[in-house]
Amino acid sequence: MDGPDAEATRLARARLPEGLRSETLAVRTALAPSQHGENSEGLFLTSAFVQPNAETSARRFAEMEDFTYARTSNPTVRSLEQRLAAMEGAEGCVATSTGMSAILLLIMGLLKAGDHVICSRSVFGSTLNLFAKEFGKFGVETSFVSQTDIDQWRAALRPTTKLLFAETPTNPLTEVCDIRALADLAHEAGALLTVDNTFCSPALQRPLALGADLVTHAGTKYLDGQGRVMAGALCGANRLVVDVFGPTLRTAGMTLAPFNAWVVLKGLETLTLRMKAQSEATLHVARWLQARPAVARVHYPALPSHPQHALAMAQQSGHGGAVLSFELRADSPEAARAAAFHVIDSTRVLSIATNLGDTKSLITHPATTSHGRLTEAQRQASGIGQGLVRLAVGLEHVDDITDDLQRGLSTLA
């Protein structure tokens, strides 16, 4: 069937009925297929788009509609943006080249010299540096406060505060902050709340529904989910996404490559399945670790021993996520580091790698990797001891993961 009927069917199929659930939106939301009717979304590897005539070209450039040049937008990237927005319950989304470039876009689009930011001191290391160092030099001031003590956030407010930035749960201690309480605080002060939702993803946590104004993602982690590509995204209301961040991205060029967008687009189709399976496996490993004599403490939000357990369960759909950390018993920092290295080096299945959100389980020593550049005093203050080991649980059989940990735990000196 060719011609106008085929065209009408193609477009009608792309208009989904109202009220679909998140799992369905994750599989179905995208631009309409091309005239070829491909069932899996197309990958458009093109930097420019041919215009039908000069007048249409002029209009598209003036109104920023349709496709003109791929720094501005590309159909594969647009499909990813629509799908992720639907899953986050956001009006709009803009995809970026990495998780960090999403935060770069947030700051460049929203803030100017003299503006003030309040940020948890437990956020991702590069996020800390971007606020404190890179934007400090342009006159954007940032106060760093406790992840969990809302009074510190309130006390840090100034008349110039424009943005509160949170990430929950945090890496590697899985501390949880109260998104709704922070949103209320931000709005009373006339500021916006942005939440980095990388660790839970929209499969477990939807910050916008809890009052946050914006969500950022490292799509590199669970959205891709198989450790293949770098990607990022910023989701929120169109008055911010379309009117503020779109123009900044088009000018500054943190654009996501179409191939990476396509990989993440397909990753979203299995996101909910993976997050639930990996989260259940992580709870199993956390309970198992808690019962090992060599383990002093396990940090994981789904354990009742976690200080914000009830809040985490309410905020994260009853799941803990797929990252945990544990502390080994030792008499000194030197002995603690030796024990941690022994457990890590005794694994034969897990990957020794400082990443997360992969189907392959990853094990790492935060004190000498992600937090290696802190001084020992800063590390002590943030609770990252030499005996701490972080595990990002993947999709291997859970007994193979615990067997792999047991190799080192049962042979400690």
Tell the burial category of 177 from Cβ atoms under 10 Å away from its Cβ (0-12, 13-18, 19+): buried
Q: Calculate the alpha carbon distances from 218 to 235, 397, 398 in Å.
A: 12, 26, 26
Is 100 a binding residue for ligand PLP by CB under 6 A? The answer is yes
Buried b (16+ CB within 10 A) or exposed e, 301-323: bbbeebebbebbbebbeebbbbb
Q: How far is the CB of 97 from ligand PLP (least distance, A)?
A: 8
Binding segment (CB under 6 A) for ligand PLP, from list 63-71, 95-103, 323-331, 343-351: 95-103
Is 196 a binding residue for ligand PLP by CB under 6 A? The answer is yes
Q: How far is the CB of 90 from ligand PLP (least distance, A)?
A: 18
Q: How far is the CB of 219 from ligand PLP (least distance, A)?
A: 7
* Dist. CA 373–CA 376, nearest whole Å: 9
Residues 126-145 close enough to bind ligand PLP by CB under 6 A? 127
Q: How far is the CB of 196 from ligand PLP (least distance, A)?
A: 5
- Both tokens of residue 72? 């501005």
The H or E element spanning position 145 is strand 141-145
Closest CA to 247 of 398, 120, 117, 73: 73
- Indicate which single residue of 105, 230, 256, 257 sits in contact with ligand PLP (rule: CB under 6 A): 230
Query: Whose Cβ is closer to ligand PLP: residue 98's or residue 120's?
Result: 98
Is 325 a binding residue for ligand PLP by CB under 6 A? The answer is no
Going residue by residue from 201 to 220, which x/- string records binding to ligand PLP, judged by CB under 6 A?
A: -----------------x-x
Asked if residue 406 lies in contact with residue 293, where contact means CB atoms within 8 angstroms, the answer is no
Contacts of 258 (CB under 8 A, 6+ apart): 43, 44, 45, 46, 70, 74, 76, 77
β-sheet with 295-299: strand ranges across = 295-299, 323-328, 388-392, 362-364, 351-352
Q: How far is the CB of 95 from ligand PLP (least distance, A)?
A: 12
- Indicate which single residue of 44, 67, 124, 131 sits in contact with ligand PLP (rule: CB under 6 A): 124
Count, residues near ligand PLP per rule CB under 6 A = 14
Q: How far is the CB of 232 from ligand PLP (least distance, A)?
A: 6
Binding segment (CB under 6 A) for ligand PLP, from list 97-105, 106-114, 304-312, 401-409: 97-105
* Dist. CA 187–CA 86, nearest whole Å: 24
Q: Calculate the alpha carbon distances from 272 to 205, 221, 225, 325, 332 in Å.
A: 11, 14, 11, 23, 42
Binding segment (CB under 6 A) for ligand PLP, from list 3-11, 71-79, 179-187, 193-201: 193-201
What sign has the CA pseudo-torsion 367, 371, 377, 381?
negative
Is 324 a binding residue for ligand PLP by CB under 6 A? The answer is no
Is 167 a binding residue for ligand PLP by CB under 6 A? The answer is yes
Is 327 a binding residue for ligand PLP by CB under 6 A? The answer is no
Q: Which residues bind ligand PLP (CB under 6 A)?
A: 98-100, 124, 127, 167, 196, 198-199, 218, 220-221, 230, 232
